[in-house]
Amino acid sequence: MPSKKKFNRLSPALKKFIVIEPPGTAGSGTVSSDVKESTTPVSTFAERTLRHCNGGSTLQAALWLKDHLDRGGKLVVTIAGALSSFQVGVTLAELIRKGKVHLVSATAANHEESYYRYVAHSHYAYIPRYTELTPEQEAELRDAGLRRITDTFLPEDESVRIMEPHLLKMWKDAQKNGHRFFPHEYFRRLFSEGLIEADPMANENDCWAYAAYKKKIPIVIPGFEDSTMGNIFASYTYGGKYRTEKTPLLDPHIIKTGLEYFTWMYDWYMETAKTAPIAFLQLGGGIAADFPICIVPSLKHDLKLHGNVRDWGGFVEIGSSPMSYGSYSGAGGKEKITWDKLATTSYYQIIQSDVTVAFPWVAAVLLGL
């Protein structure tokens, strides 16, 4: 421990950043002093070993989120990248079932890929040494209908094309009856109407979209058109000169838009925040996170509610994009203060790591493992 004399030379502003760490403790930093040491094996091991750098940041964030939830707070989780193809549902679905997650914002690709894993798990393949593939080998995979996502192959015929006819029928029925639904509401009917079955080798409990459906927690998927099924839907709405197939011509308005997701979130946030602070756990970057975090500043400045809006209670991001010139996904918590996305009193922690490495540790602490 630094001597008291040395410590007292520091300014009060600097002292608040420093944790005097007794031997054998985890050094939970800015976490509330009310947080108790864990007694369960995985969490105890995390507290003993995740002491510094990104490991320390991971533990600090996990302990803060646990304290937040234990005090009755709510949690928004956002999913970017290809995390559903990388089976983030194994972890996220359990958090949803245990009541630790209260809204999920996902890229439309992650949302649909949770379903694809559900229906076609045994048809997926894994190639650890994917960087060694030649362009010619990539073309072989393309012609076989295997769509590579880093080290994982998505089997298009057994996933996308199995679900497309069911969704097309829903879209046609909606147009006929003058109905409009959010993208995820069409997908949820695949579960509620028994239109799809879990792959024999799949565990339905590993599908986070299924867990969210069963738990009835809301989902937001901004940018639906930026997904495989969104591309397919767009093709059904195209009536231009290059239309060649005699396929149904759908009205694009049968699917509610991102603007409608955004205004729906105005109400969700204001109603939820009446009784509890809401924390934000961002897995990866991109629109899945940028979209919902903007609800708070928009409520304040666009709807002119200002002091009537509760700030985000805390912000945790796990991502591999470092802060650099023009790397927006690597923007730190402090930058978000300037946009009024976070308050100066909001907890924030950036974990510079692969989500597939750090998120399971966070989840283990939240689940009390």
What digits encode the pLDDT tens for the residues 146-170? 899 999 999 999 999 999 999 999 9
Separation of alpha carbons 117 and 206, rounded Å: 9
Arithmetic mean of pLDDT over the chain: 90
Is 183:221 a contact under the CB 8 Å cutoff?
yes
Residue 23 pLDDT: 42
Calculate the CA dihedral of residues 70, 222, 89, 367 and round it to 10 degrees.
-10
Query: Which domains does the chain show, CATH number per domain?
Result: 39-366 (3.40.910.10)
Q: Give residue 247's pLDDT band: very low, low, confident or very high (50, 70, 90).
A: confident
- 178-201 pLDDT per residue, tens: 999 999 999 999 999 999 999 999
Closest CA to 316 of 291, 342, 351, 278: 351
pLDDT tens string 66-111:
999 999 999 999 999 899 999 999 999 999 999 999 999 999 999 9
Q: Beta partners for 279? A: 75, 314
**What is the enclosing helix (H) or strand (E) of 245?**
none
345 backbone dihedrals φ, ψ, rounded to 5°: -90, -5
- Stated pTM of the model: 0.90
Give pLDDT, residue 257. 96
Quick one: CA dihedral 226, 79, 255, 259, positive or negative?
negative
Summarize pLDDT for 216-237 with one digit per residue, the tens: 999 999 999 999 999 999 999 9
